[in-house]
Structures are given as structure tokens and as C-alpha cells.
Amino acid sequence: MPSSTRMQKPQRKTFRRLKKPELALQTTTLWEYPSQHYGVGEQGSKNYQGATPSYVIWNLLSRYTREGDTIVDPMCGSGTTLDVCKDLKRVGRGFDLAPAREDVVQADARHLPLPDQSADFVFIDPPYSTHLEYSDDPRCIGKLDAHGEEYFEAMEKVFSEIFRVLKNRRYMGLYVSDTFKKGKPFIPIGFKLFELLSQQFKPIDIISVTRHNKSMKRRHWHTAAIEGNYFLRGFHYLFIMKKEE
């Protein structure tokens, strides 16, 4: 076979340790953060699977909330949202089926122990199908495969609960990714959830957040993606929605 038609080997990638960027409001619909946390400390835990970059939450709260506002995170994980709230002098209310710390209240995102219209902003980073094991609780939405309808039916109930607790003319943000597993069909979770959200909320904007994590730095993952002719998930959607009754 002539050399010009041979399958080219993937070039060896060199990954460097990236510094934490300065905090600044983003002005385009493409956000790229090279680190999980900002500042000298951490927001949430770097060891928590599926943690949200704290820069994303910081930007949302800086734009759409004020000091003293009540911020609700129905799937709070390791508490990233609560730590950003402290930095910005907001009142954070975090809930999770498997609380990782004392200031996170145990609750199902479909049944939040909150009064109607009590939140000034809601942020949620839900499971994206069954990629991660979040808890042993059988109610966990992360146990529902997005190849079936149960996942989307559960998320529709979560969105209805968010609509209930959110004040009128206030905003929410959903951080989510699509799902792909080798040998299974691609599922555009982002598009499907956006459609569900749009049935209750007014769309404000769609942000693409470039992913940077340890998994994306594994060279054998990139080699396998080329050999298997598929793509690694390189970005998250960030949907910004508004409640208008």
C-alpha cells in the first residue's frame, strides 16, 4: 500500500498542566475552563464524579442573581453550588438523594421540601444516563438508562418541581451532556431535555462549555476513538431558561 494512503497513526498529544483562569464574566456562548475550581481553594470536591466546574455556576449567579438571593440546587453532589453561593453572598439550598456533606439536605429532586416560588435561581447538573454510580438509592435518576423513556419522564418531573419552587420572572440553568456508549445508539440528551424544558420555561440562551478533565487526557481513549470511529464527548450544554407565567 502506498504510504500516502496508509492509515495515519494519531499524533501523540502533549498535555500541560493549565493554570486556573481569572474570574471574569463570559461574553460569548462558548465557555472554556481549564480547571475545575477557581481561586486558592476548591468549590465542592475534586474527587466527586461528575462535579460541575465552579466557574460555570459563578458566571450564572453573577449574571442572574443578587446578594441575598436564594439559590437552589436539587442535585447538589459535593456542594459546589453552595460554596460558590458563599463566595458571592447568596443563600444556597442544596439537596441530594445521597448528601456528601452536612449542609446538603437529603431529598428527591422530584419532591423538594420547599414552598412554591421560594427560589430566586435554580441550577441543576443531573445524571446523563447510567455512566456514573451516584448512590445505592433505587430512586436515583442516574440508574435510568436514557435509551428508555423512564429517564426523560423522571427529568420532566424534576423540571416541573423546579418550575414550582422558582419565583416568576427568575432564571434557571441546566448543565448537561449527551450520551454515547460503544455498541449502542447515540442519544442527544441535551436536545431532548431542552425540548422538555421549553414546554414550561422560556429559552434565554444555549452555552457550549468545553470539557477539561482527567479522562480527556488519557491518550488511549483518543486512540480508541480513532480506531472505533466515534467521538469523545468534548462539551456540555448549558441551557439558560426563564420562568414566565
Domain annotation for the chain: domains and CATH numbers: 29-35+49-242 (3.40.50.150)
pLDDT of res. 7: 40
178 contacts 187 by C-beta, under 8 angstroms:
yes
Q: Cell for 3?
A: 504510504
The per-residue pLDDT for range 126-158, each reduced to its tens digit, is: 988 646 566 777 777 867 887 889 999 999 999
Q: Which of 89-98, 155-164, 182-191, 192-201 has the lowest mean pLDDT?
A: 182-191
Q: Cell for 135?
A: 448512590
Distance CA 197, CA 124 (A): 12
Burial 7-30 (b: 16+ CB within 10 A, else e): eeeeeeeeeeeeeeeeeeebeeee
pLDDT of res. 14: 42
The gap between the terminal CA atoms of the chain, to the nearest Å, is 66
155 contacts 105 by C-beta, under 8 angstroms:
no
Helix (H, G, I), strand (E, B) or coil at 213: coil
Helix (H, G, I), strand (E, B) or coil at 121: strand
User: What does the DSSP assignment read for 48-94?
Assistant: STTPPPHHHHHHHHHHH--TT-EEEETT-TTTHHHHHHHHHT-EEEE
pLDDT-derived band at 8, boundaries 50, 70, 90 = very low
Distance CA 121, CA 58 (A): 12
pTM for the complete prediction?
0.86
pLDDT of res. 58: 96
If you search the block for the grid coordinates 462535579, which residue do you land on? Answer: 51
pLDDT of res. 12: 45
- Supply the mean pLDDT for the chain: 85
